[in-house]
Structure 1
């Protein structure tokens, strides 16, 4: 067992919340792509409430936006882990980073597709 897994109950939840907030802060301060997605969400999420769409459609419009933030957080985590291992150019490191980028591309395409389908 990991020594970092010793907490239970409310203490574990509080610790996990702190780690999550620290991760979001690190992403916001250190990742331009994350800041850009936060800005996109700051525009699109309120816009979704101004549109005459059903609740399910609104939920989808918001969900795809939040999904892109999740994908960017995971992509940034993969990149940080790869860079922590080595800054040396390696084909496997390149593949891992490229796949993270591809995942983000798909998430952004999904935003465009879902918004287009619902609005057009």
Structure 2
């Protein structure tokens, strides 16, 4: 039970402290609303859920990497920048992929 508590605390702290996490969750809520409005298929729901999990998980990992880098290297260091930029890049890749897949799912319903 303690492990679950710590995991939920990590999710909550990331939501509370990271603007991008709030944006991802807002977009997730909008996609869920659109999913109900357009009655997307079960397969499309599964794809959306996997994308939600991927984006949110990578955002949490990005936050963890940034915190560790700031802890061990409070002053600017080129390698610290590389680590932070790479983690942010991973989030960007999954977010772009999620947006493209989301468009592929929802545009046919809109048209």
Q: TM-score range by the shorter chain?
A: 0.7 to 0.9
For 2:101 and 2:5, locate their aligned partners in 1 and report how far apart those are by CA, in whole Å.
33
1:33 equivalent to 2:20? Answer: yes
2:24 match: secondary structure = helix
Aligned to 2:73: 86
Shift of 1:53: 2.9
Q: What do residues 59-102 of structure 1 show as CA deviations (whole Å, max 9, x unaligned)?
A: 10232122111110000000000001121111111111001111
Shift of 1:108: 0.9
Which residue of 91, 94, 105 corresponds with 2:92?
Answer: 105
4+ residue runs over 6 A deviation: none
Q: Structure 2: 5+ residue runs without aligned partners?
A: none
For 1:38 and 1:101, locate their aligned partners in 2 and report how far apart those are by CA, in whole Å.
17
Aligned to 1:10: none
- Give the superposed CA RMSD: 1.4
1:88 match: secondary structure = coil
Which residue of 5, 24, 43 corresponds with 1:56?
Answer: 43
Q: Measured at CA, do residues 42 and 53 of structure 1 come closer, stay the same or move farther in structure 2, by a change above 3 Å?
A: closer
Q: Measured at CA, do residues 115 and 57 of structure 1 come closer, stay the same or move farther in structure 2, by a change above 3 Å?
A: same
1:45–1:62: 8 Å Cα contact kept in structure 2?
no
Q: Structure 1: 5+ residue runs without aligned partners?
A: 1-13
How high is the TM-score relative to the length of structure 1?
0.81
The structure number with the bigger radius of gyration is: 1
Aligned residues: 107
